[in-house]
């Protein structure tokens, strides 16, 4: 099982950078980058809520489940 994080796609569609998003949701730019690059091992619901509010999207727009063997990396 793998969960793919599509935060980079949503950010590009909304034309928002790491620094601006970090400021809007109250986490460090380094942590936004970890999420954006798919290196996060977990995400708090409060962070996911803040992302959805800032980006005007649903959790399913950011997180996507993919079957084994189809995940990147």
Summarize pLDDT for 3-57 with one digit per residue, the tens: 999 999 999 999 999 999 999 999 999 999 999 998 999 999 999 999 999 999 9
Task: Give the pLDDT band (50/70/90) at residue 1.
Answer: low
Whether 71 is in a domain gets the answer no
Predicted pLDDT of residue 69:
75
Helix, strand or coil, per DSSP, at residue 6:
coil
The parent domain of residue 18 ranges over 2-61
Three-class SS state of 25: helix
pLDDT of residue 71: 59
Domain count of the fold of the chain? 1
Q: Which residues of 19-42 are buried (b: 16+ CB within 10 A; e: fewer)?
A: eebbeebebeeeebebbbebeeee
Q: How confident is the model at residue 68 (pLDDT cuts 50, 70, 90)?
A: confident
> By three-state DSSP, how is residue 62 classified?
helix
Question: Is 47 inside any structural domain?
Answer: yes
- Is 69 domain-assigned? no
Residue 53's contacts (CB-CB under 8 Å, 6 or more residues apart) are 25
């Amino acid at each position: 099982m793998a969960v793919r994080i599509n935060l980079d796609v949503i950010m590009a569609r909304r034309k928002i950078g790491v620094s601006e998003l970090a400021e809007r949701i109250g986490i460090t730019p380094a942590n936004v980058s970890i999420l954006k690059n798919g290196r996060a091992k977990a995400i708090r619901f409060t962070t996911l809520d803040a992302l959805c509010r800032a980006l005007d999207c649903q959790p399913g727009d950011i997180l996507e489940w993919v079957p084994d063997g189809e995940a990147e990396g």
